[in-house]
Amino acid sequence: LDSSATLSPNSSMTTKELQEYWRNEKRQCKQIKLLFEIPSTRIVEHHLSKYVMYKIIILQTGSFDSNKSVIERRYSDFEKLHRNLLEEFSEELEDVTFPKKTLTGNFTEEIINERKLAFKDYLRLLYSMKYIRRSKKFIDFLTRPELQEAYGCLRGGQYTKALEILVEVIGLQERLMRGNPVAIVPTLCAIVVCHKDLENPASAFEYGEKALARLCVHTSHRYYMPLLETMITLAYELGKDFLSLQEKLEEWKTKKDPIRVFTLKELAVREYV
């Protein structure tokens, strides 16, 4: 099974959780290589501002089209990324050139094409540096705008739109954060919340299992107990065995002091506020 595969339909995952966890640990040794392409741009005119949006396609080497992600960023987004990275990785970026602003001609075909190539090389160079490609600043550049939009939709009750964006983002997060599987738990749980509110309990349970597998040795994680409670509700609704999940919940409660714990939905709506 890969990290995006459907887990066992059974709720009792003691053995399977550990198997999945160690599979993920072993995968850390195999770096997934990503390619960055910038095939096109579009000029946006908004009120008094005008800027170029660069379409970035992120491909996994040796994969089919189903393993690609598409995002859009403008020059100022790249500029902010570079400025943020310089604060932490000034030595690593010493020989990396960043496309400079020009006083005129920013919207000419020549300048736009030059920047397309420059930004493609820039992303390739950043990704080739282990500490940069694993850094929060680099990952945020590639995922945060979409996540902010998705969570905004979730808070507004637009679950279908939120789900559409989250499912796109999760694939990219899985590839970018292969060495840190717990980091994608909030996104997985947001998908659970969307499916649950859209009355898709089977899909909600499927993504809940994926999230729970990543928390099997991280039971102190803030999402662990709310996720367990949600999974128990879903398992009961689907006619699955929920007793093992109930046992885990009771075991967790005996080890922890009774504190105010948010529901899974309450946690989700607080992300990216």
What domains can you pick out in the chain, each with its CATH number? 33-134 (3.30.1520.10), 145-270 (1.25.40.10)
**pLDDT tens-digit readout, 4-40:** 444 444 445 556 666 666 565 555 445 678 999 999 9
Q: What value does the mean pLDDT take over residues 223-247?
A: 94
Torsion, CA 169, CA 68, CA 31, CA 186, rounded to 10: 10
Residue 64 pLDDT grade (very low, low, confident, very high; cuts 50, 70, 90)? low
Q: Are 201 and 195 in contact (CB under 8 A)?
A: yes
Q: For residue 121, what pLDDT is reported?
A: 95
Tokens of 58: 């992120």
What CA–CA distance (Å, rounded) separates 194 from 170? 14
What CA–CA distance (Å, rounded) separates 42 from 229? 46
E strands in the chain: 34-46, 49-60, 68-74
Q: For residue 135, what pLDDT is reported?
A: 95
Spatial CA neighbour of 1 closest among 28, 22, 29, 31: 22
| Of 26 and 112, the one with more pLDDT | 112
Confidence check: pLDDT of 103 > 80: no
Q: For residue 245, what pLDDT is reported?
A: 93
Confidence check: pLDDT of 248 > 60: yes
Burial label, 46 (beta-carbon count in 10 A; 0-12, 13-18, 19+):
exposed
What CA–CA distance (Å, rounded) separates 259 from 142? 35
**pTM summary value:** 0.85
Q: For residue 211, what pLDDT is reported?
A: 97
What CA–CA distance (Å, rounded) separates 107 from 23? 48
Q: What value does the mean pLDDT take over residues 246-259?
A: 81
Q: What value does the mean pLDDT take over residues 205-226?
A: 94
